[in-house]
């Protein structure tokens, strides 16, 4: 295993070195062996005492110290100038089998200089939630951090009650965030902003290094990645829950799965996160919030864009104005695929919007609606999909118009059905299943966690495993919590 320390080699203001804190009795709950091999890591070594020390406390074989990364962030619109890895560490970077550089990062590994009087630990429940949801997002084809391992620590952490502790080992293209840029910009440290931007370009966007204005090109590239990412979230009903600037990755990957959730019944105003009392990060607000966050990134880059402030502002505005076009193209394209449409017609956006209106009125399940529409294409029977809708939805009128639209497609029903079922998942990480899994795990039974993780690794396959059903009235989860 060849571990780099590229980020840790940046000037000292970028991170703080750590002395790994031993865990009382670390045990592996889950080890993602395919991912380990993709990273060139030996699963047998990872299960050894040295591997456990590496996964649980960041002890590198070469003895080099892990680091806690510095960053700031807007949290629910309020700027906090110093946040940083308060319960996490960057162990280092590894080059995977595709020659891509990937971060190895622990959460729940102990206190750091950024812990702000916290214990630096994580509870097992949120660790398993992040493992399940991040791997499910990967299986859905959505850019995301990955889960390499989940461990118990043999220690308890105090949240509202005493809970078993856990550590998650996550993998990312980078853990640099919008808030990382904000950390230095807030101090007026333009040189560090420039060093950080050069680091990001070299690592994530090397094709930009020879452009006329690499920093403007960086803003444009990050804007495009985020627009596409949020469109993909929306197309599967994902609600991040805490879209603060410190939780927005410059790599365009989904990061930090604290109070995240997936829609059951469609509702554009749906909020799960208990701390989001005003609905800032509601499902339907996510594109606007992503653009708002990108505006904060643009502010940090202004001194690099042009020596003339007014020209820099205009360049930044021009870059940000590309967000809507990229988002709308990805979103509408996704909707066409979800509805089995290969051709493009001017009325497709309205057709999709009418379906969402019917789903909202009829409180229809987001995931199953599209899966059942695929069955309609193959069999022609509408009973199952219509049974998902309550009274007043007028879904039958919409289905007639959709079928007329499908009749204008130049391909077979079989091809249309195959495309829809490869686009619309049968199962998602439903909130009530995650809560059931966490309750069992905290009680010492990890079998539900493993069953759920395995099922979610094949989200588009037709199976009979019971995970696709929406929650009953008493199973509904109304609030989620950061919890770690």
Catalytically active residues, by annotation:
246
**C-alpha 252: how far from chain center:** 9
- Look at residues 416, 411, 351 and name the one whose alpha carbon lies nearest to residue 380: 416
Task: Count CB atoms within 10 A of the CB of residue 397.
Answer: 11
- Work out whether strand 88-95 and strand 3-4 pair parallel, antiparallel, or are unpaired: antiparallel
- The CA distance from 450 to 439, in Å, is 14
Contact 338, 369 (CB under 8 A): no
**387 strand-pairing partners:** none
> To 5 degrees, how large is the angle CA 400–CA 405–CA 409?
140
- The Cα 120–Cα 88 span in angstroms is 7
Cβ–Cβ contacts within 10 Å for residue 398, how many? 17
What lies within 8 Å, CB to CB, of 312 at 6+ separation is: 302, 303, 305, 306
CA atoms of 466 and 475, how far apart (whole Å): 14
Tell me phi and psi for residue 165, to 5 degrees: -85, 160
Cβ neighbours of 471 (radius 10 Å)? 17
Determine the longest span between alpha carbons in the chain, in angstroms: 67
CA distance 467 to 389: 20
Burial grade of 82 (CB within 10 A; 0-12, 13-18, 19 or more): middle
- Residues with Cβ within 8 Å of residue 291, at least 6 apart in sequence: 320, 323, 324
Question: Do residues 256 and 242 lie in contact, with contact meaning Cβ atoms separated by under 8 Å?
Answer: yes
Look up residue 283 and give its DSSP letter: G
């Amino acid at each position: 295993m060849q571990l780099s320390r590229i980020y840790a080699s940046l000037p000292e203001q970028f991170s703080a070195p750590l002395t790994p804190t031993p865990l009382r009795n670390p045990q592996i709950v889950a080890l993602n062996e395919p991912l380990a091999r993709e990273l060139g890591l030996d699963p047998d070594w990872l299960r050894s005492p040295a591997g456990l020390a590496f996964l649980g406390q960041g002890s590198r074989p070469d003895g080099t110290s892990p680091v806690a990364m510095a960053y700031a962030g807007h949290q629910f619109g309020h700027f906090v100038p110093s946040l940083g890895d308060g319960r996490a560490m960057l162990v280092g970077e590894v080059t995977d089998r595709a020659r891509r550089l990937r971060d190895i990062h622990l959460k729940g590994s102990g206190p750091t200089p950024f812990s702000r009087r916290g214990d630096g630990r994580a509870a097992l429940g949120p660790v398993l939630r992040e493992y399940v949801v991040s791997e499910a997002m990967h299986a859905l084809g959505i850019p995301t951090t990955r889960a390499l391992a989940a461990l118990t620590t043999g220690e308890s952490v105090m949240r509202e009650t005493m809970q078993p502790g856990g550590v998650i080992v996550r993998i990312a293209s980078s853990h640099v965030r919008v808030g990382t840029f904000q950390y230095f910009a807030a101090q007026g440290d333009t040189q560090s902003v420039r060093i950080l931007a050069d680091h990001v370009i070299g690592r994530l966007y090397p094709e930009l290094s020879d452009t006329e204005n690499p920093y403007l090109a960086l803003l444009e590239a990050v804007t495009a990645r985020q627009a596409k990412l949020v469109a993909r979230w929306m197309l599967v009903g994902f609600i991040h829950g805490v879209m603060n600037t410190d939780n927005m990755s410059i790599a365009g990957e989904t990061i930090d799965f604290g109070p995240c959730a997936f829609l059951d019944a469609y509702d554009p105003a749906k909020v799960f996160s208990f701390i989001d009392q005003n609905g800032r990060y509601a499902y339907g607000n996510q594109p606007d919030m992503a653009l708002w966050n990108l505006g904060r990134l643009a502010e940090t880059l202004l001194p690099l864009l042009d020596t003339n402030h007014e020209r820099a502002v205009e360049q930044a505005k021009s870059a940000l104005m590309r967000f809507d076009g990229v988002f709308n193209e990805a979103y509408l394209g996704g909707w066409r695929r979800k509805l089995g449409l290969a051709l493009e017609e001017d009325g497709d956006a309205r057709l999709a919007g009418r379906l969402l209106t019917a789903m909202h009125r009829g409180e229809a399940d987001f995931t199953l609606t599209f899966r059942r529409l695929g069955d309609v294409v193959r069999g022609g029977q509408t009973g199952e999909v219509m049974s998902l809708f309550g009274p007043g939805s007028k879904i039958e009128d919409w289905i007639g118009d959709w079928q007329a639209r499908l009749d204008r497609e130049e391909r077979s029903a079989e091809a249309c059905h195959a495309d829809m079922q490869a686009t619309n998942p049968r199962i998602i990480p439903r909130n009530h299943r995650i809560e059931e899994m966490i309750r069992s795990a905290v009680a010492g039974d990890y079998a539900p966690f493993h069953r759920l993780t395995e099922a979610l690794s094949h989200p588009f396959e037709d199976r009979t495993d019971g995970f696709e059903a929406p929650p009953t009235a008493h199973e509904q989860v109304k609030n989620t919590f950061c919890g770690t």
